[in-house]
Amino acid sequence: MKIFVINAGSSSLKYQLIDMNTEKVMAKGLCERIGIEGSKLTHKPAGKDEYVVESPMPTHTAGIKLVLDALCDEKHGVISSLSDITAVGHRVVHGGEMFSKSTLITEEVKKALEVCSEFAPLHNPANLIGINAIEEAMGKDIPQVGVFDTAFHQTMPAKAFMYGIPYKYYENDKIRRYGFHGTSHRFVSAEAAKLLGKPIEELNIITVHLGNGSSVAAVKGGKCIDTSMGFTPLAGMLMGTRCGCVDPAIIPILMDKYNLSTKEINNIMNKESGVYGISGVSSDFRDLATAADEGNARAQLALDMFMYQTKSYIASYAAAMGGVDAIVFTAGVGENSPDVREGAIEGMEFMGIKMDKEKNKVRGTVDITAPESKTKVLVIPTNEELMIAKDTKDLVK
């Protein structure tokens, strides 16, 4: 069974074709600058040369048609015809309170996704366009599945998802914590249970997804009971360019003082803040590490804040779960930065958490626990695309 996985953004589209018999990626790629001048498809078939097509893509449908042509191309393709594709799985950012699991896309589901677009105005419309573009290119009969970033977190109890604002805003406007990166938290917590050889139902796991966007989740018995992102992916710890949680009173104060519009303050908090805003150097953790090594104090401060906030969430979630069996680091920074992992765990011996600094230098899926540690410390590469493909396979089977 071959599953086509799509992650559609407002002007980009990432994809993978996965053979579910082997769980191997047959091809992957990216359409960039959809609807803008200079559109480009970069197609990477497994075991073959990269293939780049520079061609106008006025719409997502045009982009998807180019991708499908590339997949079936005699020279650069990996399948002989589109009928080789069994189903399509889409990453959908926001499922609101309506979707607590992945779901087959129907006309009704599409309408519900439109309703959820209110919560993710930049992302959900693009996800819907991706779904419609597949229908146009492959026909209405191809099964499509939506896999939501928010779904895994729907098990949070009200005490974790409610905000301390008047209740009517939850009732009328569904303002609450939703959480994101759910597909990643679900994938790595399940992998951790496999690695530990125990049923996930018996484990308390803290999953620490550190990338451009970062979030931490408390997974008790396989169910999320709390997570750091909120109503939007701006909340939680500070990130590459996002501020994370700040005193909410800062927002109106800055708006008044500098006469900023909502769009401008949103831009500052989403694009100009985080480790980038603190360091003034970069949002890329490799650049920050280099700058800090060269003595840049603000780059060091940004890293210190990032590690400190990660640690605060870990400690808080360990308390929320009454103990923690495993801490799992994942995503770009979590998988690749031994220094950030070390800084985030440092000083937690009093809680029975200690890593082995030598093992921490190794790459890939690795147990970096020190022998005397009660809690396992693991690094597990995330694979959201495979999780989407698995859900899609299960739903169409």
Q: Tell me the closest approach of the beta carbon of residue 217 to ligand ADP, in angstroms.
A: 15
Side chain identity at 150, as an amino acid letter?
T
* Interface stretch with ligand ADP, choices 4-12, 206-214, 319-327, 372-380 (CB under 6 A): 206-214
Return the structure tokens found at 62. Answer: 């045009």
- Whose Cβ is closer to ligand ADP: residue 212's or residue 267's? 212
* Residue 178 and residue 150 in contact, taking contact as beta carbons nearer than 8 Å: yes
* Interface with ligand ADP in residues 334-353 (CB under 6 A): 336-337
DSSP state of 272: S
- Whose Cβ is closer to ligand ADP: residue 155's or residue 300's? 300
Examine residue 5 and tell whether it contacts ligand ADP (CB under 6 A): no
- Whose Cβ is closer to ligand ADP: residue 133's or residue 229's? 229
* Residue 102 and residue 146 in contact, taking contact as beta carbons nearer than 8 Å: yes
Q: Tell me the closest approach of the beta carbon of residue 384 to ligand ADP, in angstroms.
A: 9
| Residue selected from 213, 244, 274, 277 as contacting ligand ADP according to rule CB under 6 A | 213
DSSP state of 75: T
* Residue 388 and residue 149 in contact, taking contact as beta carbons nearer than 8 Å: no
The pairing of strands 144-148 and 85-92 is parallel
Number of other CB atoms surrounding residue 50 within 10 Å: 10
Examine residue 205 and tell whether it contacts ligand ADP (CB under 6 A): no
* Interface with ligand ADP in residues 236-255 (CB under 6 A): 240
CA atoms within 13 A on the CB side of 274: 27
Q: How many residues bind ligand ADP (CB under 6 A)?
A: 12
b/e per residue, 230-260, with b = 16+ CB within 10 A?
bbbbbbbbbbbbbbbeeeeeebeeeeeeeeb
Examine residue 332 and tell whether it contacts ligand ADP (CB under 6 A): yes
Examine residue 233 and tell whether it contacts ligand ADP (CB under 6 A): no
The three-state secondary structure class of 378 is strand
| Cα–Cα distance measured from residue 58 to residue 36, given in angstroms and rounded to the nearest whole number | 7
Examine residue 179 and tell whether it contacts ligand ADP (CB under 6 A): no
- 376, 372, 333: which is closest to 194 by C-alpha? 376
| Residue selected from 286, 357, 361, 363 as contacting ligand ADP according to rule CB under 6 A | 286
| Residue selected from 130, 179, 211, 274 as contacting ligand ADP according to rule CB under 6 A | 211
* Interface with ligand ADP in residues 304-323 (CB under 6 A): none
- Whose Cβ is closer to ligand ADP: residue 130's or residue 211's? 211
Examine residue 284 and tell whether it contacts ligand ADP (CB under 6 A): yes
- Whose Cβ is closer to ligand ADP: residue 177's or residue 242's? 242
Q: How far is CA 217 from the centre of its chain?
A: 12
**Interacting residues with ligand ADP (CB under 6 A):** 211-213, 240, 284-286, 331-333, 336-337
